[in-house]
């Protein structure tokens, strides 16, 4: 019954009012309407639904979605059903006007509502003829660095509000693919390398979006972990690895948040394209996880008619004229993209030829219709108010950008700046004077306004602090005239001079959408050309240098890190990133972000090194479950910065760990621990709980994250933090049993501030 919660419930109440008004002209409905109006809770309304009859049940909001779907389906002609299986435009599904079935109007996400352009193929925000602006939220990775599911749920909710305000019905997000290796062009979009953290945030985002009656799309199912040859790459992944690493976030979004839609990925998994992968779509997603929403294809990722429909892929995108234009583009064929397989004529022909049974077609249509009813779209189409980027929405974006900044190093307590002692700042770098809000591709949102680091810093520093800006180095490829050796030397010298004449230097480096984004992988883990040299030159001129990393993927820091006193990883902070950065630098906010990924010293250290991008269009996930810290901690490889790591301007102490083995799976917390703020400023600590399996017969990682809590503490304050554990938290996926197995025996609970900073530990005996 979870579809009756929150704003959906309110919508049903208002629909009931409509029925009441109807009843004034149609007396046969009066008693029901009165009953509904008298109802104060959900139960009486459900009783009314069950007892109710109507001549056109599908139009009646008091009918259950199941009854409405069955009734509507019985009225549909074959062609109409077939029409439901493909888009009518670039961002719209097919409408059936005769029956009042609306098109589902979509917009890209997940970091806000991306501009679409009517039903045309142009979706690139910067090319859009009609300029649609909306709040640009931090990237998924930066939101993950907050370790704050409540905030992510709030983000989902306000994004849902913007979707409606712009007259759309569905947002193409969240992205929940795992960061398998540091060069994936879309690492910034997802929630990092850990399936547990990713699951918690996926559930939160989906709940937030759906609470507004907006359809999310959990993407990309499954294992879209590189952009290299994304239409053709065939990933060889064993079942245990799929279940333990690449599928949990989808499972959680389905089981816990009842996600209404999932997007199939471009790639192949074990020899079959995801859009026709019966194992993934039917066996896993539907039977194992219990998914009863619809599957939408990624744009241009379909390759067959019958095989796709029969595998349980419900809605092909894009469709109509934009799809035909897309197919006519030489790049589409070159890249291996496919579309236009589920057009009405092709589906009807396949049904008539017996390649698709009518029952299968009905089942796919039913799944789309059910979401149209359950989301409220059928009864209450979204009317665009155009009101976006409200102070409330901006506040969520700012909070995410601030909580998501990770303080990686703070030698000599250089940060936060003491505004009374700092009189001059040299602000340097290709990302200092421009707002790099996100990586490139379908997730990039065009904000009304975005705050650059320079604007943020000038604003917070105030007029008593002299801020000198120097570019230092051009961003590679942005202005080719700046990329030559001489031009670089000149810019570097200007920056070093500015640094020498200032109290402190801040160097904001990183990438931009042309170097990091969708449809290509990042060329190297190194910073773009000239940026390492810039940092070295500035540090030589002024040892009080802070390096700010404004990028999504990890970068090699070995050339300068020893000499750098302070480093901040700001990721992509969306439109409020510059303000968040300034607040952290000046101590208006205390850093509390923790890395959702391991930062390797070198690309060569990462587990997928040598196994990426694959050979002959096959990539073997031979590192198995050893992704991220599961690899670094088990194989004892020293990272540059470990998973879960992040400093604060204050300090925390852990004590009194209490573990109750008998409470696993019960309503009582199995683990409690006290955390105290032992420093002088208020701050937040993310308390991370890992499980170590001390007795397993099979290979298991050194530790796995199974709980976390973000706690805000005033100076001197302590708090008891509680964790509930279930048997699932101790389980591994048994390929033999094709199920999760929790082996009774000795485990250890480890709690601390990162995967490499375990502060307290205690045994737990699983019965």
Catalytic sites, residue numbers: 298
Residue 707: CB minimum distance to ligand BGC, A: 30
The secondary structure of residue 520, as a DSSP letter, is B
Compare residues 188 and 378 and give the one whose CB is closer to ligand BGC. 188
Between residue 81 and residue 120, which ones bind ligand BGC under the rule CB under 6 A? Answer: 108
Q: Going by C-beta distance under 8 Å and a sequence separation of 6 or more, which residues neighbour residue 565?
A: 409, 410, 411, 412, 414, 543, 544, 545, 546
- Residue 614, Cβ neighbours under 10 Å: how many? 18
Compare residues 8 and 108 and give the one whose CB is closer to ligand BGC. 108
3 state SS for 312-329: CCCEECCCHHHHHHHHHC
Select the residue interacting with ligand BGC from 168, 180, 219, 709 (CB under 6 A). Answer: 219
**CA distance between the termini of the chain:** 34
The secondary structure of residue 404, as a DSSP letter, is T
Q: How far apart are CA 607 and CA 600, in angstroms?
A: 10
Q: How far apart are CA 254 and CA 321, in angstroms?
A: 33
Select the residue interacting with ligand BGC from 117, 137, 246, 299 (CB under 6 A). Answer: 299
Select the residue interacting with ligand BGC from 135, 364, 442, 592 (CB under 6 A). Answer: 442
Select the residue interacting with ligand BGC from 49, 88, 119, 123 (CB under 6 A). Answer: 123
Compare residues 125 and 405 and give the one whose CB is closer to ligand BGC. 125
Compare residues 175 and 241 and give the one whose CB is closer to ligand BGC. 175
Residue 21: CB minimum distance to ligand BGC, A: 40
C-beta separation of 213 from 8 below 8 A: yes
For the chain, give the number of residues.
767
Residue 184: CB minimum distance to ligand BGC, A: 12
3 state SS for 200-245: HHHHHHHHHHHCCCCEECEEEECCCCCCCCCCCCEEECCHHHHHHH
Tokens 């050194």 correspond to 702
Q: Using omega within 30 degrees of 0 as the cis cutoff, is the peptide bond preceding 220 cis?
A: yes
Compare residues 217 and 402 and give the one whose CB is closer to ligand BGC. 217
The secondary structure of residue 138, as a DSSP letter, is P
How far from chain centre, in Å, is Cα 625? 21
Q: What token pair was written down for 206?
A: 């989906």
Residue 179: CB minimum distance to ligand BGC, A: 16
Q: How far apart are CA 388 and CA 113, in angstroms?
A: 10
Would you call 735 exposed, middle or buried from its count of C-beta atoms within 10 A (0-12, 13-18, 19+)?
middle
Q: How far apart are CA 550 and CA 553, in angstroms?
A: 9
Compare residues 3 and 116 and give the one whose CB is closer to ligand BGC. 116
Q: How far apart are CA 551 and CA 573, in angstroms?
A: 9
Compare residues 519 and 651 and give the one whose CB is closer to ligand BGC. 519
Sheet holding 170-172, edge to edge: 106-108, 170-172, 215-216
Residue 289: CB minimum distance to ligand BGC, A: 21
DSSP H or E stretch at residue 566:
strand 566-569
Q: How far is CA 304 from CA 74, 220, 356, in A?
A: 27, 19, 12
Residue 173: CB minimum distance to ligand BGC, A: 7
Compare residues 297 and 556 and give the one whose CB is closer to ligand BGC. 297
Compare residues 483 and 518 and give the one whose CB is closer to ligand BGC. 518
Q: How far apart are CA 609 and CA 599, in angstroms?
A: 14
Phi-psi region of 163 (alpha: psi -120 to 50; beta: other; left: phi over 0): alpha
Residue 656: name the closest of 687, 621, 611, 629 by CA.
Answer: 687
Q: What token pair was written down for 537?
A: 């030159």
C-beta separation of 90 from 119 below 8 A: yes
Our finding on whether 298 is near ligand BGC (CB under 6 A) is yes
Select the residue interacting with ligand BGC from 172, 377, 506, 689 (CB under 6 A). Answer: 172
The residue ranges that bind ligand BGC (CB under 6 A) are 108, 123, 172, 219, 298-299, 442
């Amino acid at each position: 019954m979870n579809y009756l919660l929150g704003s959906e419930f309110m919508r049903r109440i208002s629909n009931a009012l409509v029925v009441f008004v109807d009843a004034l002209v149609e007396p046969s409905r009066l008693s029901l309407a009165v009953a509904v109006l008298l109802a104060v809770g959900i139960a009486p309304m459900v009783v009314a639904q069950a007892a109710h009859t109507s001549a056109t049940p599908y139009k009646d909001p008091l009918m259950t979605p199941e009854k409405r779907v069955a009734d509507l389906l019985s009225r549909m002609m074959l062609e109409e059903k077939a029409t439901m299986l493909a888009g009518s435009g670039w961002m719209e599904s097919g409408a059936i006007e005769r029956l009042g079935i609306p098109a589902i109007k979509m917009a890209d996400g997940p970091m806000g509502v991306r501009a679409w352009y009517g039903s045309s193929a142009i979706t690139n925000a910067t090319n859009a003829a009609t300029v649609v602006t909306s709040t640009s939220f931090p990237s998924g990775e930066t939101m993950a660095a907050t370790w704050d599911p409540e905030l992510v749920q709030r983000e989902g909710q306000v994004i849902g509000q913007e979707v409606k305000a712009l007259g759309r019905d569905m947002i193409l997000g969240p992205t929940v693919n795992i960061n398998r290796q540091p060069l994936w062009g879309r690492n910034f979009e997802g929630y990092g390398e850990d399936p547990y953290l990713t699951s918690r945030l996926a559930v939160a985002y989906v709940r937030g979006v759906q609470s507004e009656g907006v359809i999310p799309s959990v993407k990309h199912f499954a294992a879209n972990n590189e952009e290299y040859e994304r239409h053709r790459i065939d990933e060889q992944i064993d079942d245990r690895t799929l279940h333990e690493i690449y599928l949990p976030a989808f499972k959680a979004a389905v089981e816990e948040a009842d996600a209404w839609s999932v997007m199939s990925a471009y790639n192949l998994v074990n020899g079959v394209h995801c859009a026709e992968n019966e194992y993934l779509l039917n066996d896993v997603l539907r039977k194992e996880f219990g998914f009863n929403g619809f599957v939408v294809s990624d744009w241009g990722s379909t390759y067959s008619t019958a095989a796709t429909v029969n595998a349980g892929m419900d809605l092909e995108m894009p469709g109509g004229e934009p799809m035909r234009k897309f197919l006519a583009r030489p790049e589409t064929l070159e890249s291996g993209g496919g579309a236009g397989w589920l057009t009405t004529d092709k589906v009807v022909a396949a049904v008539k030829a017996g390649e698709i049974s009518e029952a299968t077609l009905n089942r796919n249509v039913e799944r789309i219709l059910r979401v149209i009813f359950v989301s409220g779209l059928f009864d209450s189409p979204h009317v665009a108010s155009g009101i976006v980027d409200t102070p409330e929405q901006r506040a969520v974006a700012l909070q995410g950008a601030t909580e998501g900044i990770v303080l990686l190093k703070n030698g000599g307590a250089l940060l936060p700046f003491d505004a009374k002692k700092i009189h001059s700042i040299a602000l340097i770098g290709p990302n200092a004077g421009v707002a790099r809000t996100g990586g490139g591709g379908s997730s990039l949102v065009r904000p009304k306004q975005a705050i650059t680091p320079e604007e943020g810093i000038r604003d917070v520093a105030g007029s008593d602090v002299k801020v000198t800006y120097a570019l230092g180095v051009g961003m590679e490829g942005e202005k080719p005239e700046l990329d030559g050796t001489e031009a670089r030397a000149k810019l570097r010298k200007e920056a070093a001079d500015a640094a020498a004449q200032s109290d402190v230097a801040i160097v904001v480096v990183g990438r931009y959408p042309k170097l990091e984004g969708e449809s290509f992988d990042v060329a190297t883990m190194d910073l773009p050309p000239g940026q390492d040299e810039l940092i070295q030159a500035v540090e030589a001129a002024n040892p009080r240098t802070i390096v700010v990393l404004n990028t999504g993927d990890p970068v090699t820091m070995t050339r300068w890190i020893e000499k750098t006193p302070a480093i901040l990883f700001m990721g992509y902070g969306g439109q409020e990133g510059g303000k968040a950065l300034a607040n952290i630098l000046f101590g208006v906010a205390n850093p509390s972000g923790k890395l959702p990924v391991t930062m390797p010293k070198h690309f060569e250290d990462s587990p997928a090194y040598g196994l990426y991008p694959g050979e002959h269009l096959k990539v073997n996930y031979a590192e198995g479950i050893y992704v991220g810290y599961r690899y670094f901690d088990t194989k004892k490889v020293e990272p540059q910065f470990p998973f879960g790591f992040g400093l604060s301007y204050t300090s925390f102490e852990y004590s009194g760990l209490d573990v109750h083995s008998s409470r696993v799976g019960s309503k009582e917390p199995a683990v409690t621990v006290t955390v105290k703020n032992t420093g002088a400023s208020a701050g937040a600590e993310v308390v991370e709980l890992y499980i170590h399996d001390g007795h397993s017969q099979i290979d298991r990682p050194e530790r796995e994250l199974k709980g976390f809590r973000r706690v805000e503490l005033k100076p001197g304050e302590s708090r008891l933090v509680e964790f509930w554990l279930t048997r699932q938290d101790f389980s591994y996926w048994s390929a033999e049993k094709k199920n999760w197995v929790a082996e009774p025996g000795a485990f250890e609970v480890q709690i601390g501030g990162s995967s490499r900073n375990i502060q307290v530990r205690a045994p737990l005996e699983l019965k």
